[in-house]
Chains A and B, each alone.
Chain A
Amino acid sequence: MKLDPKVKRIILWSIVAAIVLGWILAYRWDADQTTAVASRTVRAAAPLLLGALCGVIGERTGVFNIGIEGQMLFAAFVGFMAASYSGSLLLGIAAGVAGAMVLGLFLGWAAVTLKMDQIIAGTVINVFALGFTSFYYVQGRTMPSFPSWSVPGLDGLPLLGKSFFSNPPLTYLAMIATVVVWIGLFKTRWGLRTLAVGENPGAADAVGVNVIFKRYVNVTIAASLAGFAGLHLLQSANSFDRGMTNGQGFIALAVMIVGRWHPFGAAAGAALFGFCIALEAQLQFNDALDIPPQFFGMIPYVTTIAVLAIAGIRARPPAAGGHPFEKE
């Protein structure tokens, strides 16, 4: 089914209009609950978005990153431990991000230099992170909690104020990172070269781009975003728990695919998943439906599969993704 771009644009904008209208109607109907769902949507979407952005950069540069889950978990653990022992939140964040970047560097080494199967490399990261964080886990520690920041002037807005302009710091970071990654990928020299490396590394190499170096740097930088995603989980839970990522790193990959490897697409995808999670929480909170809690627990995962089955069908990943670069 090929659609005229004009028709496509009309459909897209009607969907956007319908969503906005839906929110407004829901707000008129029940302001409190709608606001609660909206703000929960944003906070559930933020870590998925950060993780998806990590995936976007990696794949746009030609490296699959199945290890986002492990990078998130590792960052959350290192961040928690550092913040807990030092008492400084900033130090915790720095340590967590650094931890994720070490695993990013490892992925670069495995995928680029060792030319290892990239999905296996990511699996190594996941198994290692789960084992490592449980091995060194210490029970009963606490950490300082994240502050909540309000944007003066904007936080009073109906619906939007509570959900977008009154959040803890890392939630804002997710929004900012989306714009930064978009500008970086599509408006700068670094980004255009990255895209070239991901689509046709041979050609990029021929015009003098250092493919190997580019992949190393990008995968490592991208891992910092997965690190922030893991720290965002810490921000919500305010403590570390074994296996606390619960598959969110993999949902982030689904968000990336649904968002067609584009930062704004990823934001839309993350919003959709965040909304499902928020709605689930609200319905469960209200006792609205007589459904066992285990079925509520399935919702994010079933949604992931359903959305991919419906929307992922014509998704085309960057051409060179998954293949090690062989210089000719």
Chain B
Amino acid sequence: MTGATTAPDTPAPSGPRIDVGRWMRPALVPLVAIALGLLLGAILILSIGENPLDAYGAIIEGAFGSPDAVGRTLEKATPLVFGGLAVAFAFKGGLFNIGGQGQILIGAVFAAWAGFTFDLPTVIQIPFSLLVGGLAASLLGALVGWLKAVRGVHEVISTIMLNFVAANFTEWLVNTSGPFADPPATNPSNLARTPLINSSAEIPHIGGLPLGFFFSVVVATVCWWLLERTTLGFEIRTVGHNRHAAAYAGINVVLLTILVMTISAFLAGLGGAVETLGVTGRFEPGSNAFLGFAGITIALLARTNPLAVVPAALLIGALQAGTSLMQARTGVPPEIVDLIQAFILFFVAAPVVVLWIIRRRGQEEERLQLTTGWGG
């Protein structure tokens, strides 16, 4: 899927009519979108005088070239699965959670706190620490849901503002005089960070592969089941389609809005928690500012289907995992990955363009009306 400039398993962009198997059809637009995103990325790489084939080759090798590389890709993909699930879940309920970034930070720092403060048996310690991180983040989501449903504050603005609040808050928690600070005994150069978590809280690797990734797949499946196979999920989707009709049908829209944002933020918080417990081992401020935005791209690539979030996150995770090798081999700045994501986001959100490019004008896709206006 991460082929060079044209993805090999995508139909060639020429010819009047391409016959695609029925099972492929929902994946057609995302796959072409990925190919187009990589193509535009290649043009930008050319614009700074570098060779896109070298750059993409290095990314592929850095992401899949060795067992270590595959492990790294899965590690990178894990918080992205949660970030994508958070956005997709909110979309199902008609809400746009653009605050994944802040929720991830809160989840990460509180999971770290639980991890270095308590030392329970591993089977309890890991779920407990994950839960602490997820619940702390879900408080943020509950606030956003309440602001939206009761006070009419649009979630796009409140979640963005809370991203900055969370960034400042976590920075304060771990600064050298903050309550979660790493004490001078273990922190000779006075860095702003938490102590290392106890080994009982570390999420292990199994056969070189991070267990956290498999956990994220389980959570994705639970999300899918909750949304598609339960009454609650049906109510959430009804509110997402039409809040007024849902209210008319007797669904408590206020409560459901708060619940959807709470769950969405919980998922994002789990993402931060898994990253802390499985990869970094402690919380340090200043992690990737794009995590929250990547969740949006992933959710849309997956067309808000929780199960499809997993491959979408793997793709973006592979791009991220491969960047360090690309940087080592070529002069391409790592931000190329963010730009490719922006392009992919555009193409998956504008299927008209994709269908026009591959000349399937007849096949109008149902448009994803995802978000609501300020009045909501």
Contacts and interface: CB of A to CB of B under 8 A. Distances in A.
A135 B350 contact: no
A269 interface: no
Interface in A94-135: 110, 114-121, 123-124, 126-128, 130-132, 134-135
A257 B338 contact: no
Interface in B318-334: 333
A257 B175 contact: no
B341 A127 contact: yes
- The secondary-structure label for the interface of chain B is helix
Contact of A120 (B160, B289, B300): B300
Interface stretch (A29-37, A44-52, A226-234, A306-314): A306-314
Interface stretch (B118-126, B211-219, B246-254, B362-370): B362-370
A66 interface: yes
A250 B342 contact: no
A248 to B, nearest CB: 10
A135 B345 CA distance: 18
B158 A305 contact: yes
Contacts of B164: 246-247, 297-298, 300-301
Contacts of A118: 371
Contacts of B353: 114
Interface stretch (B12-20, B66-74, B146-154, B266-274): B146-154
Interface in B84-114: 96, 98
B342 A305 contact: no
B54 interface: no
A118 B169 CA distance: 31
Q: Interface extent on B, as a size class?
A: 35 or more
A253 B157 contact: yes
Nearest to A243: B289
Contact of A119 (B156, B161, B162, B178): B156
A297 B169 CA distance: 9
A312 to B, nearest CB: 6
A135 B340 CA distance: 11
A309 B157 CA distance: 11
Contacts of A253: 157
B372 interface: yes
14 contacts: A117-B367, A119-B156, A123-B98, A124-B346, A126-B293, A131-B335, A131-B341, A243-B289, A257-B154, A257-B157, A305-B153, A308-B158, A309-B153, A316-B375
In order of increasing CB-CB distance, the 4 nearest A-B pairs are: A131-B338, A294-B172, A322-B373, A131-B339
Given A116-B350, A308-B154, 18 more contacts: A66-B156, A114-B350, A116-B349, A117-B367, A118-B371, A127-B297, A127-B341, A247-B164, A253-B157, A257-B157, A257-B374, A294-B175, A295-B168, A301-B164, A301-B165, A302-B165, A308-B157, A322-B372
Interface of A: 64, 66, 110, 114-121, 123-124, 126-128, 130-132, 134-137, 243, 246-247, 250-251, 253-254, 257, 292, 294-295, 297-298, 300-302, 304-305, 308-309, 312-317, 321-322
Interface of B: 44, 48, 96, 98, 147, 151-154, 156-158, 160-165, 168-169, 171-172, 175, 177-178, 289-290, 293, 296-297, 300, 333, 335-336, 338-339, 341-343, 345-346, 349-350, 352-353, 367-375
